[in-house]
Amino acid sequence: MNRPSEQSPESGLRARLHTLIFEADTPSGKAFDVALLWAIVLSVLAVMLESVAEVRARFGYALHLAEWVFTLLFALEYVLRLMAVRKPLDYARSFFGIVDLMALLPSFLSVLLPGAQTLLVVRVLRLLRVFRILKLGHLLGQAEVLLTALRASRPKIIVFLGTVLTIDVIMGAVMYLVEGEENGFDNIPRSMYWAIVTMTTVGFGDITPKTVYGQFIASVLMVMGYGILAVPTGIVSVELAAASRQRPDTQACPGCGAQGHDLDARFCKRCGTALDWARP
């Protein structure tokens, strides 16, 4: 079942546009999608090359011109997508609709904010359409399982991060008291930065304790960090196993396009719309 915003109009120019732009099963639709993917790759490559000083010095004008050519092409494509669906606003608010719009905005923002065109690399998200073109839609079901697990883990992760932040505040204050300004711990926020770096086992080394007590506290914090890092992994793993057993349905809600419903669900968990495929 297609998303409601991508359902084909009944007939006419909009129907032909929908077939060309949204349907990858037809020769013309597949050719359009392949050409679009190449355009996306080349546009991102142009942005990346422009960031290299040597390349920019020689081909800066050509790369800048290419960016605007691709931007205008994508803008035209975005307008055609809105024309090709029954509910343009629904498509505009969908994931790919937002990504398509974000792929255009940096070029226009660069007129007011020089350098904003660097954000055009967000166009790489549009390559996710390759799943549909290459018939890899079943992988999207696995992505939905992962998203379901992450959503279920969110409350536990929030509590976990709150606990870690509390420890960092306390240890930062302690190290500020123990080490003092003469050893680089000149304020509590900077000491908290050291505690976060130490607990996450990154250890940049820009601030290090000099006293015996400070080194002992650092050792305890580093050992504690190894144990703390395992907690979110366990939380997500448990929820991932539970989500895999539930095998959520990958069909989209006819009302809002939401996915990930249980196989026996009769109504959408987000908007309450009756699910057409729900079994009686």
For residues 205 and 101, membership in a common domain is answered with: no
Helix (H, G, I), strand (E, B) or coil at 1: coil
Q: What is d(CA 8, CA 25) in angstroms, rounded to the nearest whole number?
A: 14
Any idea what the CATH number is for the domain that residue 153 is in? 1.10.287.70
The residue out of 71, 106, 140 marking a domain boundary is 140
pLDDT at 96 over 70: yes
For residues 120 and 63, membership in a common domain is answered with: yes
The pair of structure tokens assigned to 191 is 């000491």
Tokens 């998303």 belong to 3
Query: Could you tell me if 43 and 123 are in contact, meaning their C-beta atoms sit under 8 angstroms apart?
Result: yes
The distance from CA 229 to its chain's CA centroid, rounded to whole angstroms, is 22
Specify the amino acid at residue 272.
G
Condensed to tens digits (0 to 9), the pLDDT of residues 36-78 reads: 888 888 988 988 898 888 998 898 889 889 988 998 999 998 9
Q: Give how far Cα 13 sits from Cα of 3, 80, 89, 275, Å.
A: 20, 11, 19, 30
Which residues face 249 on adjacent strands? Answer: 261
In a domain? residue 266: no
Condensed to tens digits (0 to 9), the pLDDT of residues 172-206 reads: 999 999 998 888 898 999 999 999 999 888 878 88
**Of 146, 118, 169, the residue nearest 259 (C-alpha):** 146
For residues 166 and 134, membership in a common domain is answered with: no
CB atoms within 10 A of CB 156: 16
**Of 279, 278, 3, 277, the residue nearest 140 (C-alpha):** 3
The residue out of 124, 140, 156 marking a domain boundary is 140
Q: Is 91 left (phi over 0), alpha (psi -120 to 50) or beta?
A: alpha
pLDDT (average), residues 234-262: 61
For residues 136 and 19, membership in a common domain is answered with: yes
51: domain range? 13-140
For residues 126 and 163, membership in a common domain is answered with: no
In a domain? residue 61: yes
pLDDT band for position 27 (cuts 50, 70, 90):
confident
In a domain? residue 156: yes
Query: Could you tell me if 146 and 244 are in contact, meaning their C-beta atoms sit under 8 angstroms apart?
Result: no
Q: Which of these ranges, 22-26, 75-79, 225-229, has the smallest mean pLDDT?
A: 22-26
Number of structural domains (the chain) is 2
